Amino acid sequence: MDTTHRVGGVRIVSATIEREYDIDSYLCQYSLDDPNPEIAGYAKSDAERLAAWKRDEWFFEGIYAKVVFEGDDGWKMEGRSPGLWGIESDSDEAHFAEVAAEEAAQLVEELKGYRTLGPGVVAEVDRMLGAAVASL
C-alpha cells in the first residue's frame, strides 16, 4: 500500500518526527571544588545524575522534524528542522511533544520559502507533521 501523498507534481514520501540518541553530555561542566557553594551544589547534583547516566539509566536524545519529497521529473529533496538536542530521555512525554510541535512548525515555516513546493504541498506537510506530533 502506498502511504505517500501527492500534491500536483510533488510526492511527499514522508513527513516525520525523529528522535535520535545524542552522545553529548553537559554533566561535567561544574566542579565539586568550586568555591561558590551554589556551583558546587550543581556539581554534586550533576555527579549523581552522571553516575545514573553511566549506568545507562537514561540518555540524551534529540528531536527534529523531517520531510522527504520527490518530483515527477525526478528531483528529490529532504528537509529537516535544526532539532533540539541534549534532551534527557526520562523527561516528561509532554515535553517531547511540545518540542516536536515546535520543530514541525519551524520546518513548515522554512518550506514556505521554496516556490517549487507551492502552498498546497506545504499545507499537506503541515497536516502530516501535525498527525505525527499527535501520535507521540
For the stretch 54-107, pLDDT in tens is: 899 999 999 999 999 999 899 999 999 999 999 999 999 999 999 999 999 999
pLDDT tops 50 at residue 2 = no
Cell of 102: 515546535
**Dihedral over Cα of 80, 104, 116, 77: its sign:** positive
pLDDT tops 70 at residue 3 = no
> What is the per-residue pLDDT across 23-66, written as a single tens digit (0 to 9) for each?
766 666 777 788 888 888 888 877 888 888 889 999 999 999 99
Q: Are 46 and 30 in contact (CB under 8 A)?
A: yes
The pLDDT value recorded for residue 25 is 66
Nearest to 80 by CA among 3, 13, 18: 18
Cell of 3: 502511504
The pLDDT value recorded for residue 1 is 41
Domain spans in the chain, listed from the N-terminal domain onward: 5-24+59-134
Paired with 77 in beta bridges are 69
Helix (H, G, I), strand (E, B) or coil at 50: helix
